[in-house]
Amino acid sequence: MHATIYHNPRCSKSREALALLTEAGADVTIVEYLKRPPTVATLSRLYALAGLSPCEGLRMAEPAAKGLAARDDAAILEAMAIDPILIERPLVETDKGVVLARPPERVRSIL
C-alpha cells in the first residue's frame, strides 16, 4: 500500500502517524510541507477527500490563523499555500482516503 504524509518532522503527532504507517508496511512518500508547500488545488482536493472544510484544516494554534477562521474557503486555502505553517498536520492520503491524523491513530482507518 502506498501512503503520502504531509509531514513536519518537528511535530510529535506527525512523527507518530509516520511510525504507524511504517509499522503497517506502507510505502510512504513524505512531503515536508513546510519546505514544499502544497498548492491551493492540492489542499482543496485533500480536504474534499477527507470531508473537511479548509477551516477545519487550519492550525488554530498559529497567531495568523485567528483572523482567517471567519474568511471563505478560497482565502483560507490561499493563506495556507503561502504560509504552510497554517496547515494542521499531519494530512495522510492512501488509496482508501485522506485523514487529518489527529490523533495519529486515525491513519488506521485508511490502511
Q: What's the grid cell of residue 77? A: 486555502
User: Active site includes 55?
Assistant: no
CA separation for the pair 35, 102 (Å, rounded): 21
Q: Which of 11, 31, 52, 85 is catalytic?
A: 11
CA separation for the pair 22, 45 (Å, rounded): 24
CA separation for the pair 84, 34 (Å, rounded): 6
CA separation for the pair 92, 50 (Å, rounded): 9
- Tell me which residues are annotated as active site: 11
